[in-house]
Amino acid sequence: MSVFERDEYMARVSKTKASMAEKGIDVLIVTDPANMNYLSGYDGWSFYVHQCLVVAQDHDEPVWIGRAQDANGAYVTAFLDHANVVGYPDHYVQSTERHPMDFVADFLKQRGWDKGTVGSEQDNYYYTAACQASLEKGLPNASFVDTTALVNWVRVVKSEREIGYMRDAARIMEKVMRLAVNRIEPGMKQSALAAEIFRAEVVGTDGYGGGYPGILPPLMPTGDASNAPHLTWTDKEFVAGEGTIYELGTTRHQYHCPMARTVYLGKAPTVVSDTAKVVVEGLNAALDFAKPGVTAEQIEEAWRGVISKHGLEKESRIGYSIGVNYPPDWGEHTISLRPKDKTVMQPGMTMHCIPSLWIQNWGIEISESFRITETGSEVFCDFPRQLFEKD
């Protein structure tokens, strides 16, 4: 049931091993579920307990290690040989007497992988201080290095199949955002609209369904709260004369296409509509500038050059790399469109450019997901790039 061919997974594993070799790493312990998916195809909501993928230089396939009851999920979704799926007993789960990484350490000793350099993703959402302490205690003859984002950087250039899934997600996004813009009205409960958005994200298109985005709830701050980008809905009603920001995500096989738009119920104040035009102008400048050979910071400079002419400024980044991911985020934690990020754009890189502004008690968000092509950039979604005003 894997969504890519074995050859593609093994090519990813080979690239990962090459990156490991450059850093002198013998064994890599991967705990980020997006990285586990990328290297094996494993796709399950089991990341609330400890699990990992072990990549060893002297072993062909990675080895999945997780809760025993989730091993069947690995059999179903991962490309791995069943011998490379290992489940730990349930008495390791949320125990005060033992830790799942004790099991992992014992497994590495059994395989003879306990004496070299071991890499672990020490700064991600799914790896705790207790994980590291358990491994260091169980593997006294190993030396440890932090390999946070090693696999993430392998992921930044997408294959044609990966880009195809992101295009699929874009078709879903077009339907979802159209619904969000069309359905909002004064007197409608925010929670009711959130439910419709959720449903549309999952129903997908006539040809295929959608999944769950890395940022699971729709972000939809409204009114005075629209100057805060990461708020969800309440059970209050939408109000005439107020703006609402949507930052939504859709997926196909966990490959994302996020997009943001802003809707105003009624005629927006001139300062709001004028600012929206500047945001669109700056976004267009960034997208037009994006191409192979330029750097992430230069794309941000194209945006900043536009808004500065209008007396506006933005301190936070305007975008980031995207692809396959799981909650709580859809960003890849690699490239950022901001000053001092000198990452050179390459064909196949995929980004979410979200140059938003939050001013006093209101905000504007208008964004696009795009890929770097051989000669420029391609925006994934076909959707009006504007502030929507609804009378």
- Asked if residue 248 belongs to a domain, the reply is yes
- Asked if residue 1 belongs to a domain, the reply is no
What is the residue-wise DSSP string for 126-156?
T--HHHHHHHHHH-TT-EEEE-TTHHHHHTT
C-alpha closest to that of 149 among 335, 372, 354: 335
* Residue that terminates a domain, selected from 123, 154, 185: 154
C-alpha closest to that of 105 among 91, 92, 124: 92
Distance separating alpha carbons of residues 131 and 154, to the nearest angstrom: 24
Rg value, the chain, Cα: 22
Do 207 and 302 share a domain, yes or no? Answer: yes
Pairing between β-strand 143-146 and β-strand 117-120 as defined by DSSP bridges = parallel
3-state helix, strand, coil in the chain (%, to 5): 35, 20, 40
* Residue that terminates a domain, selected from 91, 124, 154: 154
Do 239 and 275 share a domain, yes or no? Answer: yes
Do 222 and 345 share a domain, yes or no? Answer: yes
C-alpha closest to that of 219 among 238, 208, 233, 209: 233
Do 243 and 287 share a domain, yes or no? Answer: yes
* Residue that terminates a domain, selected from 106, 138, 154: 154
- Asked if residue 204 belongs to a domain, the reply is yes
Do 104 and 121 share a domain, yes or no? Answer: yes
Strands laid side by side in the 27-30 sheet? 85-88, 63-67, 52-56, 27-30, 117-120, 143-146
Distance separating alpha carbons of residues 247 and 258, to the nearest angstrom: 7
Do 225 and 362 share a domain, yes or no? Answer: yes
User: Which residues are 307's β-sheet partners?
Assistant: none
Do 174 and 141 share a domain, yes or no? Answer: no
Do 241 and 107 share a domain, yes or no? Answer: no
Q: What is the CATH number of the domain that holds 43?
A: 3.40.350.10
Predicted TM-score (pTM) of the model is 0.97
How many whole angstroms from its chain centre is CA 121? 17
User: How many domains does the chain fold into?
Assistant: 2
Do 45 and 147 share a domain, yes or no? Answer: yes
Q: Per-residue pLDDT tens, the chain, 391 aa: give them.
A: 789 999 999 999 999 999 999 999 999 999 999 999 999 999 999 999 999 999 999 999 999 999 999 999 999 999 999 999 999 999 999 999 999 999 999 999 999 999 999 999 999 999 999 999 999 999 999 999 999 999 999 999 999 999 999 999 999 999 999 999 999 999 999 999 999 999 999 999 999 999 999 999 999 999 999 999 999 999 999 999 999 999 999 999 999 999 999 999 999 999 999 999 999 999 999 999 999 999 999 999 999 999 999 999 999 999 999 999 999 999 999 999 999 999 999 999 999 999 999 998 999 999 999 999 999 999 999 999 999 999 8
| Domain, as residue range, for 122 | 6-154
CB 151 within 8 A of CB 16: yes
Do 235 and 177 share a domain, yes or no? Answer: yes
Do 100 and 192 share a domain, yes or no? Answer: no
Contacting residues for 31 by C-beta, under 8 A, at least 6 apart? 50, 51, 52, 53, 120, 121, 124, 126, 127, 131
What is the residue-wise DSSP string for 83-99?
GGEEEE-GGGTT-SS--
Distance separating alpha carbons of residues 13 and 7, to the nearest angstrom: 10
User: Which residues are 120's β-sheet partners?
Assistant: 29, 146
CB 288 within 8 A of CB 302: yes
Q: What is the CATH number of the domain that holds 343?
A: 3.90.230.10
Do 280 and 356 share a domain, yes or no? Answer: yes
